[in-house]
């Protein structure tokens, strides 16, 4: 599973999940992204999020903006239970 933070056309941020090929968070500001990453309990996640929102900013592609608009209408999808590497631990959507 990989998450990528993209900057939307409206200047807000979205988190893209390669696992489900969709945006799981949309229209978030920097504080909301940091809160989500911080809740995962790892400083590495938070440092990665900050870097992606500042020095390594990627723009949401045109097709991604369409996915975001669809998410606004139906609600963002859930990833379900996700394994954390080879640790044997998992994260659930309810953990967020």
Angle at 32 between CA 26 and CA 37, to 5 degrees: 100
Token pair of 63 as six digits: 């097709």
pLDDT at 8: 93
- Distances in Å between the Cα of 89 and the Cα atoms of 65, 79, 83, 86, 92 are 33, 15, 6, 8, 10
Mean pLDDT of the chain: 78
- Per-residue model confidence (pLDDT) at position 78: 72
User: What's the average model confidence in pLDDT over 54-64?
Assistant: 83
Residue 30 confidence (pLDDT) above 50: yes
Q: Is the pLDDT of residue 51 over 50?
A: yes
**pLDDT value at position 10?**
94
pLDDT of residue 74: 84
Q: How far apart are CA 81 and CA 59, in angstroms?
A: 28
Average pLDDT over residues 14-43: 82
């Amino acid at each position: 599973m990989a998450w990528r933070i993209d900057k939307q056309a409206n200047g807000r941020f979205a988190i893209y999940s390669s696992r489900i090929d969709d945006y799981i968070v949309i229209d978030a500001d920097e504080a909301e992204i940091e809160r989500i990453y911080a809740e995962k309990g790892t400083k590495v996640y938070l440092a990665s999020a900050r870097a992606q929102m500042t020095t390594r900013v990627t723009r949401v592609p045109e097709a991604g903006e369409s996915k975001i608009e669809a998410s606004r209408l139906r609600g963002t999808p859930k990833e379900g239970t996700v394994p954390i590497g080879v640790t044997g631990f998992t994260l659930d959507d309810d953990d967020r």
